Amino acid sequence: MIKGNLVNIDYGDYVIKEKDGKEVRVHVDKKTQVVGQIKKGDRVEAKVDAKDNALLIRSLP
């Protein structure tokens, strides 16, 4: 599970900046369950597989 701020959306990849400052790139495709309207700057949580493919991504309050 990855939590942080969505800093960039680059084609099929979402770049999430975690609390420690590390940026993680996760791949989002048609199999990804997207909960809510997610936009740059949102605080998000992403459940990913071993290859950093997002299985689920949702915005956090």
Kindly list the structural domains of the chain, giving each domain's residue range(s) and its CATH number in brackets, ordered by start: 2-59 (2.40.50.320)
pLDDT 10s digits, 8-22:
999 889 999 999 999
For the segment 21-53, what is each residue's pLDDT rounded down to a tens digit?
Answer: 999 999 999 999 999 999 999 999 999 999 999
Distance CA 21, CA 23 (A): 6
Supply the pTM of this predicted model: 0.91
Q: What is the DSSP string of the chain?
A: -EEEEEEEEETTEEEEE-TTS-EEEEE--TTSEEES---TT-EEEEEE-TTSBEEEEEE--
How much is the pLDDT for 2?
97
Q: What residues are paired with 58 via a beta bridge?
A: 35, 45
